Amino acid sequence: MKVLVVGNGGREHAIAWKLSQSELSPELYVARGNAGIWEIAKPVDISPTDVKALADFAEKNGIDFTVVGPEAPLVAGIVDEFEKRGLRIFGPPKKGALLEGSKAFAKAFMKKYDIPTAEYRVFSDFSEAKEYVEKKGAPIVVKADGLAAGKGAVVCETTQKAIETLDKFLNERVFGDACEKVVVEEFLEGEEASYIVMINGDKYVPLPTSQDHKRLLDGDRGPNTGGMGAYSPTPVITPQIEKRIKEEIIERLIYGLKEEGIPYRGFLYVGLMITKEGPKVLEFNVRLGDPEAQPILMRIENDFLKLLLDFYEGKNVKLKESERWALDVVLASRGYPQKPETGKIIHGLDIVKELKDVIVFHAGTKKEGKFIVSSGGRVLNVCAYGDTLKEAKQKAYDAIRYICFEGMHYRKDIGDKAFKYLGE
């Protein structure tokens, strides 16, 4: 069976790794991939957003099934293009991808279908947005409407910071067309968590819970990033909270998709704030999270390819979840997330490969001669299993001591948020 994975990062390495373990012995192709992915899959030199070229490749090479990792190809309509040609692909159509592709669309959708979220307003005019921010005061959150690689949401502790962010988005257009509009919303207090499900029409299957660490620095300081680490499961999502997430968010969303005539088949990521009033949606993503996918996939015990194929066909599937913990620490380049340095030789990967219960998923890496070098902001994901969260964390950080590249930095507190809930 021939399977194509679309994407370049740590999430896609984890997807390819999990698919490669299938009893179906898939012949894996990845567009474009990275140095880690290329050890288990054949590289396809086509951009993940060149949807026509990818569909041409899938047709010509007899690809049986495609799994899309990142959001950009989904927003660009890769599913519509593949399905038009009768090619099987796991992901939502372009209309469904708007839940991530436009924050204004997502907020309007939530309002229409009574999905709990922060109070908000949408602006395209700087003066009007500035006036609103001055009236509301800080803290307040400013978000670029479109895709900004996880960096388009800014928590502004002061009114001045909010005005500066509005200026960067609406006037300077730092994220291009993604800044045509902004969403300004109330700051929610609570604990963030991630809840990811697979959806096919009326059916949905929750994946293991997880918690991301978005800020660059320890103690949730510094700018937002694409994610500096994650662990699974998270005690933040109690059985009672999960019941509310399903009833108040997932089931209302599925009802809304049906009402809007959007045939959704794929992953749906709900970024949550667990507030005193209950769970509220910070954002929807239309794919697996990154870095959440890495520990989540480590804990799924099913044959993942068979699971996806059965679910794609509309069959009832049951998820098998490991009782062990998994934790992921992101090793980033100097300058990330603004201007990451690249081309730095990475040392120590061969040593870590031999460690028990440790897996390194590559994100921004490439081969240069006999060396593996950094090629992006988030470079590696060092992941570990443990019978407890503390053990998983210890193993991950012990492994990191063997790895180095110039300018490497990482958070030292991944998973610490959970300990107060665990009584540790």
pLDDT, residue 149, reads 75
- Whether 58 is in a domain gets the answer yes
Which CATH number covers residue 26?
3.40.50.20
Tell me the CATH number at 213.
3.30.470.20
The tally of domains found in the chain comes to 4
Same domain membership, residue 336 and residue 272: no
Percentage with pLDDT > 70 across the chain: 100
Residue 4, classed as helix, strand or coil, is: strand
Q: Which pLDDT band holds residue 18 (cuts at 50, 70, 90)?
A: very high
Which DSSP helix (H) or strand (E) runs through 330?
A: strand 325-332
Measured CA to CA, the distance from residue 49 to residue 6 in angstroms comes to 9
Mean pLDDT of 400-417: 97
Coil vs helix vs strand at 292: coil
Whole-number mean pLDDT of the chain?
A: 96
Q: Give long-range contacts, CB 8 A cutoff, 24+ apart: 259-262.
A: 259/113, 260/95, 260/109, 262/92, 262/93, 262/95, 262/96
Q: Is pTM beyond 0.75 here? A: yes
What pLDDT digit, counting tens, does each position of 59-97 carry? Answer: 999 999 999 999 999 999 999 999 999 999 999 999 999
Query: Which tens digits make up the pLDDT trace of 296-326?
Result: 999 999 999 999 999 999 999 999 999 999 9
Domain coverage including residue 285: 191-312
DSSP three-state, residue 348: coil
Residue 105 falls inside a structural domain = no
* Domain CATH for 345: 3.90.600.10
